Amino acid sequence: MRPSKTFFGKSQQVNKHATNTTAWFICIGAAAFPFSVALANIVFAAVILLSLLSGQFKQGLQWLWQQHRHAMYAILAYLALVCIGLLWSIDPKAGLRVLSHQWMWLLLPPLVAALASKEELRRRFWLALSIGLSLHLVFCVVQMSGWGNLNIMGGSTPDDATGYIGHIGFGFVYGVWAGWLLHFAYISKTPWMRWTALALALWALWMIFAAQGRSGYVITLGILIFLVWTHFMKGRKVSTIAAVLLLSFGLFSTLLMLNLDHPRVKVTINSIQSLIHGDIQHTEERGRLWIDAVHIWQSHPILGVGTGGYSQATGVSLDNSAYDHPHQTYLLALLRWGPIGPIIVMALFFFLFRTQSGHQDQAAFRSNPYNISGKLVVIGLVIHGLSSNPLEEHATMMMAIFFLALSMADMKYPRLKSANHTTQTGL
């Protein structure tokens, strides 16, 4: 019998080696991503190429199309808008740069195919990611302590120790990771695993509030409220829900009060006070960027300035990456593509959040503890989008793809087999 063929017509033996190598590479990439953008990009580019060779990329696309079709519609609509927006962009060169940032969506099919094929691989992948994030926290503690010359790019300094991730994405990455660890600590029946997860979660939360990324504070609050609702509040009385929410807000306010000496928190308070008194000139720079973004959109109200047109519309050089966007995803979508822009972005978040909807109890969570990861990351994206541009940030999007893949590779569906076998699902 002739050997079966894959997407590139290779034999089963080549398929098997490519699939096994992919499994190793996704774990290596997960462990390396907090430390090195270049290494993570190289490893995951290899994952995409190997998945094309083994057939896992096609398999993952079929899986996503069959089980998460609405989310796929939303992803394709967003990517289509990015591409079509180049047609009327006032700066097509910058638009191509924006388009290049979308490559990480290509990771979703091979990751889902690999993680759905073996439950053990899901555990190894999560362990590798957690080891990498834990070691990165150790690095941040060393940086915070001022040992050695550890000032690095990305806005990370001893006073704002966020390591190689940088303060913009630090709160998002560690907020969603801590959220899942708290979720796992609650459902786990194994004492040492429960206490280890809880200790890591508390360590991550402490580092978030020790840093100066204010978006991380709000992301943390949003994820904690969601976890409380998921595990304790469903079916409860309104008065009980209100009491818990007030308690959570009080705890968050207390933590925030402890950080009042942080320069960025002071800037936020002063900016709010300036806005109340109508003093726009003394508000934080981000607030002025939002006002400028609205003015740009008013000059191009129907189609916006196109993909990548923001920098030229503001007269700022592309070399200054801080002004590639107005630090607000929804405003950026509005001025890029007109009113359809924020609608598509919000639809993207909505359908990604809905990928794991339905009744879930403790037994369901224990059988698949990763199920909730997609919701956690979408909550982070929605909140982070209010003050940044998470869909084009490397660390943020990489973490989002990891968590979405874990969530979408749901083991309640018939499991995918390796690419050189047939499955009952027709994949």
Q: What residue segments make up the domains of the chain, in order of their start?
A: 12-408
- Residue 409 φ then ψ, to 5°: -80, 60
Per-residue tokens: 211: 């840093």
pLDDT digits (tens, 9 = 90+) for 147-175: 755 556 555 677 777 888 887 889 999 99
What average pLDDT score do residues 244-260 get?
A: 63
Cα–Cα dist 132/136, whole Å = 6
Alpha carbon 106 to its chain's center: 15
Cβ-count burial of 276 within 10 angstroms (0-12 exposed, 13-18 middle, 19+ buried)? exposed
What average pLDDT score do residues 303-324 get?
A: 73
pLDDT digits (tens, 9 = 90+) for 336-381: 999 999 999 999 999 999 876 544 555 566 667 888 899 999 999 9
pLDDT at 426 over 60: no
Diameter of the chain measured on Cα atoms: 81
pLDDT for position 89: 92
pLDDT for position 145: 79
Alpha carbon 30 to its chain's center: 13
pTM of the model: 0.84
